[in-house]
Amino acid sequence: MANRYDFTITPRDVDFSRRATLVSLCDYILESAGKDADALGFGLRNLIREHAAWVLSRMAVEIRRYPDQYECFYIETWVESVEKLHTVRNFIVRDAEDRVLAEACTYWSVIDIRDRRVKDLTGFPKYLECVTGEALSIKPVRVRPVRPEPAGMHRVAYTDIDFNGHANTTRYIGWMLDTLPLEEFKEKTIDRLDINFMRESMFGAVVNIACERKEETLVFSLTRENTALCNAMIRLKPNL
């Protein structure tokens, strides 16, 4: 029941190493989710008619290899399960020789955009038909907030704002990475991300970014005033 979506890494997807960044890999994963939801009849354009929208609450990605510039790859994605308040969607990213590049697991809710309340997903019988029950070993963990030294701040601006009118999901990942020195990316590779989204960020919001290092894991907490926006954990693996 998994559907397949094909992509190619473009020059703007890569960093100095000419391999895809974590941000662009997550962009493609979320793009495949959007396309697949649309193919199943539950895309944003379907939901909008019922004043509803998808909201991503958690995501975990494990990366074995980042694809290179101009490399063709594909993403298989499917709905694992549906509960009242959230649904689980999985992903396997594969290269042209079908080798696994990455695996990802995401938790989504549907909200009513008029009152921002979560809708009961079991009330969509057609969506229940999409459930495959097929799980991956990867599951997004709950990341506990940290309150160490601030690592940076970001004021949400025009290029952060997406079609939902709030800061785009993958921007949060970029803001976190942008607090790190370049050596971190030269000497190490991110092999796992866990991210939890609590609140959205609108234009002009000042986002404070705190970071705590625990051996090869970085834990980030993003807050606005005293409101938690997002917590995330990034695991780094030293390059051989």
Site for a copy of itself, rule CB under 8 A? 10-12, 14-16, 18, 21, 23, 27, 30-31, 34, 69, 157-163, 165, 168, 170, 174, 177-180, 182, 185, 203-204
- Count how many residues are written for the chain: 240
- Specify whether the CB–CB gap between 73 and 7 falls below 8 A: yes
Nearer to a copy of itself, 38 or 139 (CB): 38
Q: 27 or 62: whose CB is closer to a copy of itself?
A: 27
Please report how close the Cβ of residue 137 comes to a copy of itself at its closest, in angstroms.
28
Least distance to a copy of itself, CB of residue 69, Å? 6
Q: Cβ of residue 214: shortest distance to a copy of itself, in angstroms?
A: 21
Cβ closer to a copy of itself: 138 or 190? 190
Closer residue to a copy of itself in complex, CB, 18/139: 18
Give the residue with the Cβ less far from a copy of itself, 138 or 172: 172
**Closest approach of a copy of itself to the CB of residue 121, in Å:** 22
The CA-CA-CA angle for residues 113, 117, 119, to 5°, reads 95
Is residue 60 within 8 Å of residue 193, measured between CB atoms?
yes
Provide the token pair at 43. Answer: 């895309």
* Contacts by 90-96, CB closer than 8 A, 24 or more apart: 90/134, 90/135, 90/136, 91/29, 91/32, 91/33, 92/2, 92/136, 93/25, 93/28, 93/29, 95/65, 95/67, 95/71, 96/71, 96/72
Q: In angstroms, what is the minimal distance from the CB of 12 to a copy of itself?
A: 5
